[in-house]
A and B are shown apart, each in its own frame.
Chain A
Amino acid sequence: MSEHHGPDKGFLRWVYTTNHKDIGTMYLLFALTSLLVGGIMAFVIRAELFQPGLQLVDPNFFNQMTTMHGLIMVFGAIMPAFVGLANWLVPMMVGAPDMALPRINNWSFWLLPFAFGMLFCTLFMEGGAPNFGWTFYAPLSTTYAPPSVTFFIFAVHMMGISSIMGAVNVIVTIFNMRAPGMNFMKMPMFVWTWLITAFLLIAVMPVLAGVVTMMLMDIHFGTSFFNAAGGGDPVMFQHVFWFFGHPEVYIMILPAFGIVSHIISTFSRKPLFGYVSMVWATGSIAILSFIVWAHHMFTVGMPLVGELFFMYSTMLIAVPTGVKVFNWVSTMFRGSMTFETPMLFSIAFVVLFTIGGLSGLMLAIAPADFQYHDTYFVVAHFHYVLVPGALFSILAAVYYWLPKWCGRMYDEGLGKWHFWMSFIGVNITFFPMHFVGLAGMPRRIPDYALQFADFNAIVTVGAFIFGLSQLIFIYNLYKTVVQKKGEPATDQVWETADGLEWTIPSPAPYHTFAEPPVIK
């Protein structure tokens, strides 16, 4: 066989590829597509909620939109985007030539288009798509579900397999393929946070698979896991779901912590403050994430002791999370800051994620949570940690590493426009949700009482500003990557960027670190 230097030609390159950079690119493009699809669904939701009364869609379709929006954004946009970043960056950051298990890597990506294709098709099935919320509480999602729920279950199984394989790959790569001399406490923060994330994924994705399998059995094979009439327990569904679900939300934020740690340090021209404490804090958050799940269920009627336990454990999470925020602020303090697009998104991340974290602390207080639970206050809270949290970190990462990936600088002016429009849009969208939630508007309703009308109109305007400003991002990507209009990037790209990925040429060659670098 001839020596294998470059990629194959044509479409089959992408089908057969085992190259971490190709697979990373595909994951990122997949995530971007999902972001647009899920975003259009958000537009439908917000357009219907622009004014009181039913204008555009019937309540059943509205429920399908909220459900699909949640599922697509969580499993189709945020998670694949992080896996894509891990694929591109982990081997380059630890000085490895590729991921440890390249064929599994290919398969774990190619499962996703089929899983989501199947999920998307449910919209056109008789009875409509899943309409029971992304948390799919039984028995609404079993006994009372539309027939398409079976396809939803298999889609979840497929994306679960994909996530587990992706996580195994990350762990094996990090454990076995680090360059000589890179011990654990020298690993870049992104690698650390992804390592911990991967363990969370392996721990909880099987739990998700278990809960949907129990649903499948209840629906088709006459079991009664979640049916009280047959001796089952609908609340058990929630316990199992949230035992997956809470670590899941940290799966969507820990890699973000890694990303902003790199970016803030680079653009403050100062080393990250408290690296060791950052690692410990990430680990603590991951461990705590397993013992807080029932704070999503304060109103199901748990015994007092249960409520107290989950209230205290949840409050405790504020401590390591606080440590991280304080460390980022200290990294900026007495730095020499510049404000390129990745830094702007990272600073916005710290501020807005902190707001989301603080509202999380409020939600932890069980007696107060009785007033917040399942209102727009919760919607505001988790969108603050997921949109200007997770999503902003992903956007920051793309701007930060794009010159390394494609060898050209993006258009900084367009990047700033994208940032400011997103920043303003995101706050107009999600900040008023706090008020409308405290004022008493339940989540997942297609129509609302008149006193919520003003805020909902504002929220809808914000949502369209935010959504449409993502087109600037897409145009910027197109201009940089396809039209190749940007300045050629240097190897180091950013003045004080630190790490192995900045030692290789820009754009990164198809194969990197065939010879491992030596870490001093």
Chain B
Amino acid sequence: MNRMGINAVFILILSFLSCSALAEWGLNIPLGATRISESVHGLHMTIFYICVAIAVVVFGVMLYSIIYHRKSRGAEAANFHDSTVVEIIWTIIPLVILVVMAIPATKTLIEMYDNTDAEIDVQVTGYQWKWRYTYLNEDLDFFSNLSTPQEQIDNVEAKTENYLLEVDKPLVLPIDTKIRFLLTAQDVIHSWWVPELAVKKDTIPGFINESWTIIDKPGIYRGQCTELCGKGHGFMPIVVKAVTKEEYKVWVAQEAKLQAAAREVKDMSFDELMANGKKVYATNCAACHKADGSGIPPVFPALKGSKIALGPIEDHIDMVLNGKPNTAMSAFKEQLSTVDIASVVTYERNAWGNDKKDFVTPKQIKDIKDNNK
């Protein structure tokens, strides 16, 4: 019985360790993939060991007193209660430690603030609840959405390895290149953090922050939004895919072609629109309006049976294109292609028992967009 108990504990510990071993990040901040992330890691470890040393001394003296200067051992209290010399000593020593610590910290910080000579500029825009990446030197601009299916979040399906840390389109960057990030937000404050690049910067609506990185190693680097930005705050991860310079060039060319194609206006049947609309809805709308269109009233209205979805189609299109100012309903005219907007409007008018039987073509959306310009 006893041995079984020990075995059980042993297996428990083993399984615990193996779980942790599977984890990408373990117990500590990562060494990372950039020179800056390495020096930040160095600073972190230095200050950590200093803290441990201080703790050992202070707690050591305390523990000694607790063991040896207890009344139950017959300890008699001394009566000293003042010493200016001692007070001065333990004011000066910490000061010296702090100055020693401040020097490397200052050096690293100055380096982190040197945004000059970037070869690639990427604008990062935070939205409730996704990221938008605009390559300022290329004709590239796309949104990056969480790709973990809602079924995994709701515990209906088994969770896969990169649960909540996976996106439909990662930010692709070349290695050995100085990349400058220009960070801003569309609605509320978000914060763009990739631990392995040691970049964390708030994205603030109306302001543009700067940061930069030079990635040393190709790889996939995952991060998350770190400023509370509403109910989807935990569901807007960041994935950076670092590739060689050559691969990057190839990717840019391919992606530019894809994006140009997506901008083209296609003719689509009702069924095609509905099928595509369902996908677009799941990625862009379901977080607030829910997969079944029931919403979370009153902040996030229901679309099932709603005045907009069952009213004149012009109003519906206008709402999707231009959003509703000062609410979480953002303007999708920049965010979605004409095809996707036509699909999602069609879908919303004909799903979950909404039965308008009407639809809108990508061509019509394009005309409305052009007229509004």
A-side interface residues toward B, CB under 8 Å?
52-55, 58-60, 62-63, 126-128, 131-133, 137, 139-140, 143-144, 146-147, 227-229, 233-235, 268-277, 299-301, 304, 307-308, 311-312, 315-316, 318-319, 322-323, 325-326, 329-339, 347, 350-351, 354-355, 358-359, 361-362, 365-368, 370-375, 435, 438-440, 442-451, 453-454
Question: Complex formed: what's the CA distance from A453 to B154 in Å?
Answer: 16
Which residues of chain A have C-beta atoms less than 8 A from B82's C-beta?
273-276
Q: Give, as a whole number of angstroms, the nearest-CB distance from A285 to chain B.
A: 13
Bound form: Cα–Cα A273–B228 in Å: 44
Q: Is the CB of B153 within 8 A of A335?
A: no
In terms of DSSP, what is the predominant structure of the interface of chain B? mixed
Q: Which residue of B lies closest to A332 (CB)?
A: B65
> Would you call B233 and A235 a contact (CB within 8 A)?
no
Q: Mark B98-115, 1 if CB is under 8 A from A, else 0.
A: 100110011011101100
Complex Cα distance, B78 from A333, in Å, reads: 9
Q: Is B250 located at the chain interface by the 8 A CB criterion?
A: no
CB pair B48 A362 closer than 8 Å: yes
**In the complex, are the beta carbons of B209 and A301 less than 8 A apart?**
yes
Report the nearest B residue to A141, measured CB to CB.
Answer: B188
B328 close to chain A: CB less than 8 A: yes
B51 CB to nearest A CB, Å: 4
B198–A270 touching, CB < 8 Å? no
- Alpha-carbon distance A318/B98, docked complex (angstroms): 9
Q: How far is the CB of A316 from chain B (nearest CB, A)?
A: 7
What residues on A are CB-neighbors of B95 within 8 Å?
A: 319
How distant is the Cα of A350 from the Cα of B19 in the complex, in angstroms? 35
Contacts of A228 in B (CB 8 A): 204-207
Q: Which residues of B have CB within 8 Å of A63?
A: 228, 230-231, 233
Instruction: Kindly identify which residue among A316, A334, A337, A350 contacts B98, using a CB–CB cutoff of 8 Å.
Output: A316
| Ranked 10 nearest A-B pairs via Cβ | A228-B206, A451-B23, A445-B234, A301-B209, A358-B51, A271-B81, A336-B77, A334-B78, A374-B226, A269-B77
B65-A131 in contact (CB<8A): no
Q: Which residues of the other chain, A, contact B26 by a CB distance below 8 angstroms?
A: 439, 451
Contact call B22/A451, Cβ cutoff below 8 A:
yes
Interface residue range, chain B: 35 or more
Q: What is the number of contacts between chain A and chain B, taking CB atoms within 8 Å? A: 301
Provide a sorted-by-A list of 18 A–B residue pairs whose CB atoms are within 8 angstroms: A52-B159, A53-B155, A60-B231, A147-B298, A229-B206, A299-B201, A301-B201, A301-B204, A304-B109, A319-B91, A319-B98, A322-B90, A338-B71, A367-B39, A371-B29, A371-B40, A448-B164, A449-B162
Complex contact A355–B209 (CB within 8 A)? no
Given contacts A53-B159, A359-B51, contact A336 B71 (CB under 8 A): yes
- Check B170 for interface membership: any CB of A closer than 8 A: no
Closest to B203 in A: A301
Are the CB atoms of B19 and A453 closer together than 8 Å? yes
Residue of B62, B187, B296 most packed against chain A (CB within 10 A): B62
Residues of chain B within 8 A of A60, CB atoms compared? 231, 296, 299
The answer to whether A325 touches B165, judged by C-beta atoms less than 8 angstroms apart, is: no
| Complexed CA–CA distance, A120 and B64 (Å) | 47
Tell me how far the C-beta of A143 lies from the nearest C-beta in chain B, rounded to whole angstroms: 5
Residue among B25, B98, B110, B223 making CB contact with A439, cutoff 8 Å: B25
Does A234 contact B109, Cβ atoms closer than 8 Å? no
Which residues of chain B have C-beta atoms less than 8 A from A137's C-beta? 188-189, 227-228
* With contact pairs A308-B109, A365-B47, A365-B101 given, residues A275 and B69 touching in the complex (Cβ less than 8 Å): no
* A270 to B78 Cα, complex, angstroms: 7
| B246 interface residue (CB < 8 Å to A) | no
Q: In the complex the two chains form, is A139's CB within 8 Å of B234's CB?
A: no
Could you tell me if A55 and B155 are in contact, using CB atoms closer than 8 angstroms? yes
Which residues of A lie under 8 Å from residue B164 when comparing CB positions? 52, 447-449
Known contacts A334-B65, A367-B109, A445-B233: does B328 contact A144 (CB below 8 Å)?
A: yes
CB pair A333 B234 closer than 8 Å: no
**Shortest distance between the CB of A84 and any CB in chain B (Å):** 30
- Interface-forming stretch among B52-60, B273-281, B355-363? B52-60
Give the complex CA separation of A354 and B296 in angstroms: 44
CB neighbours of A300 from chain B (8 A): 202, 204, 209
The answer to whether B25 and A311 touch across the interface, beta carbons within 8 angstroms, is no
Which residue of chain A has its CB nearest to the CB of B92? A319
Shortest Cβ distance from B56 into chain A, in angstroms? 11
Measured between alpha carbons, how far is A325 from B90 in the docked complex, in Å? 10
Q: Which of B55, B65, B195, B228 meets A140, CB within 8 Å?
A: B228
Contact B79 A271 (CB under 8 A): yes
Tell me which residues across on chain A come within 8 A of B19, comparing CB atoms.
453-454
B29 to chain A: closest CB distance in Å?
Answer: 5
The distance in angstroms between the C-alpha atoms of A283 and B37, with both chains bound, is 38
Contacts of A227 in B (CB 8 A): 206
Q: Which residues of B contact A147 (CB under 8 A)?
A: 298
Within 8 A of A (CB), among B199-216: 199-202, 204-207, 209-210
Taking the closest CB of chain B, its distance from the CB of A82, in whole angstroms, is: 25
Q: B344 at the A/B interface (Cβ < 8 Å)?
A: no
A307 partner residues in chain B, CB cutoff 8 A: 109, 113
Given contacts A274-B87, A374-B191, contact A439 B226 (CB under 8 A): no
